[in-house]
Chains A and B, each alone.
Chain A
């Protein structure tokens, strides 16, 4: 590492996220074939693309899921290479993934899970741990801000939740953990329009100058509610086009056919 880049990682990096020429394989099959993407602090970017273009793979590679092998390129988060970090360390650094399919953990109350996650992240950041009451107070405050019902707290994590409840629970976790970069993977999937609005309101409430977001979606619909600063098209493992929010409308009109053909 040169003196210059070391210095950069000390202070505030220009970019929240920089992905450079990222190649990744799953089961030996190359899914990402040279992704480039830069997100500045406070920006909201959307990644759109057809099914199988590598959108979810990108989210999992960023968060360090096992089974996703990076073969080339790098991911810098706040100026630091995160590829060697475990998923939990990346989370501690402030990387959050709102899952497309939030996972059920039977028997573990939502309050317990939120407390465990909050304290794990606080410990990583060198902040004092919260006891059950302090943690509950914080969670309740966030719920109030997001308009999430208390009833969600008593139930086991995502267990028996409706699609809308699961996604609201993801947003609640995001609000509690206060990440620097949130990746929202198909947060609109399985939501009716009312649930979509509620979730989008929650996400918008968390936008701020120090927090960036990467919204992964198949449809333009979500972007009516979470308005991005930039839109990228991912096709066949590469960002094939970037533009402003109007690009999403163009995709809605013309579909992805042009890109899947072009990138082949």
Chain B
């Protein structure tokens, strides 16, 4: 029996080494000095040739930041972060900013190819436009021309600041204010790049928009900021993917995403998060402290979050919807997988302000190894939200006997006409199911992947077709070695 346990440990250790995105790109970087100071904030703003108002906005956030306490309510455990021991700006050094894909450093193109994201348009999945963010900056955006024909703006945040300052100034920080929480506040001070999307009135975006985030440089935090505005009657589906090299030290990723849906507009936002999770013993990995929030400002508007969270050492993330417009709809579909020593505290907030607003939450949590996972969700019905409805379904699946799953729902209702439903289940992956699959010839690991994919199906179905297959594979890979 002892030998068995040892073998299982070894298998787990090997599985953790299998993170196939763990390579490092050898590229010369332009990196700001280590540490966080007002000078660094000014340097980032200068590098990006930002207008005065944005520098002032950053500095206000920077000065507010030390006064804020780190959130401590999440069920995660890690040593205090030394914010002075990190770099806040790192960009691949390739001279002037490339004007087209032909001018992008071939080493960068190869990196994205290795990640399965070819940036040459003819090789891309038809119907998907990509913005590639490498460390602190956006290196390429594809299909811009085609989108411009419809009046759609899809570019890096830095470019948006230059070319569409009025839109940025109007909406930046309007959903997630700089002082929202400590991580968002830091982001507001030092954010480096991210994606910007504007869909004009009545336009249905003809392709999936996607951003691929890559952390490459060591000791570098990634602080991207994404802003998506769907004007009245428009529709957009947006997807982000993330990876990072395997490194022994932890790296901070504190992003902010703001979505704004005006009257009758719909935004579908999907995430496949596969940051480096650390090794089997919990060394290294990304701290993924992200603030994502969408505002359904207009009547009949809809925001739908779908997330597949498989990576990161620690995930702290609650994509939320503020349902301001009457009849607006918020959705949150989530798969979170934690293996080995990973920790995740994730969920959503549905804030019902308008009348007849509706929200739906489907959360599937899978915990294996010695991982700890918490679903934390808030459903708040304000006094004015007559007829509001929420349905929450929260399922946890445990693999092995050394992991944990926790469910913490908060429900606040100030309106008697509201309906709030919460269902939760916790189950263990069953020996019967695994044996049944194996008796049919399916290997143990494939059986785990099959059963877990079945468990997650309701959420996987929400993903755009192009990415659903990828996500299914990722589910299997993330759990390799979880059954000894």
CB distance from B202 to the nearest CB of A (A): 37
A173 touches which one: B431, B440, B455 (CB < 8 A)? Answer: B440
Cβ of A181 under 8 Å from chain B: no
Query: Which residue of B has the minimal Cβ distance to A99?
Result: B436
Chain A residues with Cβ under 8 A from B437's Cβ? 105, 113, 116-117
Q: Which of under 10, 10 to 19, 20 to 34, or 35 or more describes the interface residues of B?
A: 20 to 34
Q: Is the CB of B436 within 8 A of A107?
A: no
Residues of A within 8 A of B457 (CB): 107-108
Q: Are B443 and A88 in contact (CB under 8 A)?
A: yes
In the assembled complex, B435 has its CB within 8 A of some CB on chain A: yes
Residue in B431, B440, B455, B456 whose beta carbon sits within 8 Å of that of A120 in the complex: B440
- Chain B neighbourhood of A88, CB < 8 A: 438-439, 441-444
Known: A107-B455, A108-B451. A120 touches B441 (CB 8 A): yes
In chain A, positions 48-92 with a C-beta closer than 8 Å to chain B are 63, 65-66, 86-88, 90-92
Q: Smallest CB–CB gap between B283 and chain A, Å?
A: 32
CB interface residues, B 440-476, toward A, < 8 Å:
440-444, 446, 450-451, 453-458
**Interface-centre pick from B433, B436, B446, B458 (highest chain A CB count, 10 A):** B436
A160 at the interface (CB under 8 A from B): no
Q: Is the CB of A103 within 8 A of B441?
A: no
The one of B439, B446, B455 that contacts A87, using a Cβ cutoff of 8 Å: B439
Q: Which of B430, B446, B458 is the one whose CB lies under 8 Å from A116?
A: B446
Q: How far is A104 from B437 in the complex, measured between Cα atoms in Å?
A: 11
Closest chain A residue to B430, Cβ basis? A103
A to B CB contacts below 8 Å, 22 in the list: A66-B431, A66-B435, A86-B444, A87-B435, A90-B439, A91-B438, A91-B439, A91-B441, A92-B441, A99-B436, A104-B433, A105-B437, A106-B454, A106-B455, A107-B454, A108-B454, A113-B440, A113-B450, A117-B437, A120-B446, A156-B454, A157-B454
Chain B interface (Cβ within 8 Å of chain A)?
A: 430-433, 435-444, 446, 450-451, 453-458
Chain A residues with a Cβ under 8 A of chain B: 63, 65-66, 86-88, 90-92, 96-97, 99, 102-108, 112-113, 116-117, 120-121, 124, 156-157, 173, 177
- Sample of 18 more A-B contacts, CB < 8 Å, known A63-B439, A107-B454: A86-B444, A87-B438, A88-B443, A92-B441, A103-B432, A105-B437, A107-B453, A107-B455, A107-B457, A113-B437, A113-B440, A113-B450, A116-B450, A120-B440, A120-B441, A121-B440, A124-B441, A156-B454
